[in-house]
Chains A and B, each alone.
Chain A
Amino acid sequence: MSEPLIRLVDVRKSFVLRERAGRVRRTKREVLAVNGISLDVPAGQICGYIGPNGAGKSTTVKILTGILTATSGTVRVAGLDPRTRRVELTRRIGVVFGQRTQLWWDLPLADSFELLRHVYRRDLDDHRSRLSTLVEVLDLGAFLATPVRQLSLGQRMRGDLAAALLHAPDVLYLDEPTIGLDVVSKARVGEFLRRVNAEQGVTVLLTTHDLADVERLCDRLVVIDRGRVISDGTVAQIKQTFGRTRTLVVDFDESRAPVVLEGITAVRIDGPRQWLSFDRTTSAAQLIAQVMQQASVRDVSIEEPHIDDVVRQVYERAADRSLTPEETDSG
Chain B
Amino acid sequence: MVDELRLWRVLVAARVRSQWQYRTSFLLYACGSFLGALVDFVALSAIFTKVPQLGGWSFGEVAFLYGVSGLGFALASFAVASVGNLSRRVKDGTFDSLLLRPLGTITQLSAEGFALRRIGRVAQAGCVLVLSLMLLELSWTPGRVAVTTVAIACGTLVYAAVFLATAAISFWVIDGAEVGNAFTYGGNYLSNQPLDIYARWLRSFATFVIPLAFAAYLPVAWVLDKPVPAGIPADLMWAGPVVAVAALLAAQAVWQAGLHTYRSTGT
Contacts and interface: CB of A to CB of B under 8 A. Distances in A.
**Do A and B assemble together?**
yes
Interface of A: 15-16, 59, 62, 65-69, 71, 86-88, 90-91, 93, 95, 97, 100, 102, 104-107, 111, 115, 118-121, 147
Contacts of B24: none
Given A106-B21, A111-B14, A66 B99 contact: yes
Given A16-B265, A68-B264, A119-B7, A106 B100 contact: no
B24 to A, nearest CB: 15
A119 B102 contact: yes
Contacts of A115: 10-11, 14
Contacts of A119: 7, 11, 101-103
Contacts of B94: 100
B96 interface: yes
B102 A100 contact: no
Closest 7 CB pairs of A and B: A106-B18, A90-B102, A118-B10, A67-B99, A67-B96, A69-B263, A107-B18
B10 A100 contact: no
Contact of B100 (A65, A68, A107): A65
A68 B100 CA distance: 11
B17 interface: yes
A146 B144 CA distance: 53
Given A106-B21, A111-B14, A87 B100 contact: no
B17 A15 contact: no
B49 interface: no
Contacts of B265: 15-16
Interface string B56-99: 00000000000000000000000000000000000000101101
A104 B103 contact: no
Contacts of B103: 119
B142 interface: no
Most chain A Cβ neighbours within 10 Å, of B7, B100, B102, B266: B100
A65 B101 CA distance: 10
A121 B102 CA distance: 9
Contacts of A105: 18
Q: Is the interface of B mostly helix, strand, loop or mixed?
A: helix
Contact of A67 (B11, B17, B100, B102): B100
Nearest to B260: A69
B266 A102 contact: no
B33 to A, nearest CB: 21
17 contacts: A15-B265, A59-B266, A62-B266, A67-B96, A68-B266, A69-B264, A71-B264, A90-B100, A90-B102, A102-B97, A102-B100, A104-B18, A107-B14, A107-B17, A111-B17, A120-B101, A121-B102
A14 to B, nearest CB: 10
Nearest to A117: B10
A67 B14 contact: no
Contacts of B99: 65-67, 86, 90
Nearest to A16: B265
Contacts of B100: 65, 67, 90, 93, 95, 102
Given A16-B265, A115-B14, A147-B21, 10 more contacts: A59-B266, A65-B99, A68-B266, A93-B100, A106-B19, A107-B14, A107-B17, A111-B17, A118-B7, A118-B11
A88 to B, nearest CB: 8
Interface string B1-35: 00100010011001001110100000000000000
A67 B264 CA distance: 9
A62 B96 CA distance: 9
Contacts of B7: 118-119
A293 B231 CA distance: 107
Nearest to B7: A118
Contacts of A88: 102
Contacts of A97: 97
A27 to B, nearest CB: 17
Contacts of B266: 15, 59, 62, 68
Contacts of A95: 97, 100
Nearest to B18: A106
Contacts of B18: 104-107
Contacts of A67: 96, 99-100, 263
B102 A120 contact: yes
A143 to B, nearest CB: 17
Given A86-B99, A91-B102, A106-B21, A68 B263 contact: yes
Nearest to A33: B266
B226 to A, nearest CB: 48
A71 B265 CA distance: 10
A117 B100 CA distance: 15
Nearest to A167: B102
A209 B163 CA distance: 41
Contacts of B17: 107, 111
A106 B20 CA distance: 10
B102 A87 contact: yes
B45 to A, nearest CB: 40
A66 B265 CA distance: 13
A121 B101 CA distance: 11
B17 to A, nearest CB: 7
Contacts of A107: 14, 17-18
Given A107-B14, A115-B10, A119-B7, A100 B97 contact: yes
A97 B93 CA distance: 12
